[in-house]
A = this chain, B = another copy of it.
Amino acid sequence: MATHHLTKTAYYILLALSDRERHGLGIASEVERFTEGEIVLGPGLLYGSIKRLAEEGLLEETEAVDSEQADPRRRYYRLSAAGRAALQSEVLLQSRILSEAQAKNAAQESS
């Protein structure tokens, strides 16, 4: 689109990881939670996107946190510094766009 923008999926995944680390399906269910069921990440998109984001250095795998009794199938991820920066800039952009949407809507109604 232009210089390096997050896809919608990448945006949602990074956001799901912004408060704490999660494993694959944990990310998917967090996204589903905060979109009230509107966004469902199927396995192809979920694991494919995680792989891509890890390759791009926006998130990184963590050693399973000892406290949670480990299910060895799970792979946990957290945001990298670059991932957090990318998320912040995307949040700013979306916030600007949303303001615009509200302004246009207000203009619309008053006409």
Contact = CB atoms under 8 A, between A and B. Distances in A.
B91 A19 contact: no
B94 A38 contact: no
Interface stretch (A3-11, A58-66, A69-77): A3-11
Q: Give how many copies assemble into the complex.
A: 2
Contact of A35 (B96, B105, B108): B96
Interface in A93-107: 93-98, 100-101, 104-105, 107
Given A1-B40, A3-B38, 15 more contacts: A1-B8, A2-B39, A5-B8, A5-B38, A8-B8, A15-B97, A15-B100, A19-B107, A19-B108, A34-B97, A34-B100, A35-B96, A36-B96, A91-B98, A94-B98
